[in-house]
Amino acid sequence: MGIKEKLPLLNSENKGVRIAGYVIYAFIGLMVLGAILPSPDDGGGTTTTATVESPAAAEPGVLDVAAVRSLLPRAERDRDIRVTDGVVLIYRDSKYNAPSAIMVDGRETSTDIFKQLFGDNRVDEVTVFTRTTFVDKYGQESIGTAAKYQMTRATADKINWDNFHWIRLDEVVDSKYIHPAME
């Protein structure tokens, strides 16, 4: 007994059912293959959500842009990143237009970034710039900093990241700047 006899859709008298059977079984096979093979983002192994969301452990070697990208939440990995001697600068553009949405996005995302990066002992200081488009009274557009949050290792070490809520970020960072249009 061959495989055709074991798969009911392929053993049908109706040609349309047999064609649909080939398509369905091919789709199922691809789904199984996709579940087995690792995705390109996870470095060849499987990871759980808890592992991806928890701060990364310190890694030996020099802290460079590639290392910082690997530590960041996935949505923040394509940002403009600069690294010098353990000091990390991240420039991110807000996808929102309303000032309140930009501020929520900036605080929440900056908190996630701080949590992830300070999980690596090579990181001494992090500054996150959230940029947006401003329109002046003449209708002229320009890109500027809506918010800037800076935190040092000493401050980050005081925070219990598992219980910390992003709404308190303004109270704990070492320095911050909020554009007057955002207040």
List, for residues 78-128, the tens digit of each pLDDT value. 889 999 999 999 998 887 666 666 666 788 889 999 999 999 999 999 999
Distance of alpha carbon 65 from alpha carbon 78, whole angstroms: 11
How far does CA 62 lie from the centroid of its chain? 22
Alpha carbon distances (Å) from 50 to 53, 56, 75: 5, 11, 16
| Same-domain status, 21 and 73 | no
Segment 42-53, tens digit of pLDDT: 444 433 333 333
Is residue 49 situated within a structural domain? no
Q: pLDDT tens, 9-65?
A: 667 778 777 777 777 777 676 666 666 766 554 444 433 333 333 444 445 678 999
Give the range of the structural domain holding residue 86, as residue numbers without chain letter: 58-182
CA distances from 95 to 80, 104, 144, 147 (A): 15, 12, 13, 14
Say what the pLDDT of residue 35 is: 67
> Whole-model pTM?
0.64
Whether residue 43 lies inside any domain: the answer is no
Is pLDDT of 76 > 80? Answer: yes
Question: How many domains is the chain built from?
Answer: 2
Residues 176 and 105 grouped into a single domain:
yes
Both 168 and 135 in one domain: the answer is yes
Asked if residue 53 is part of any domain, the answer here is no
102 domain-assigned: yes
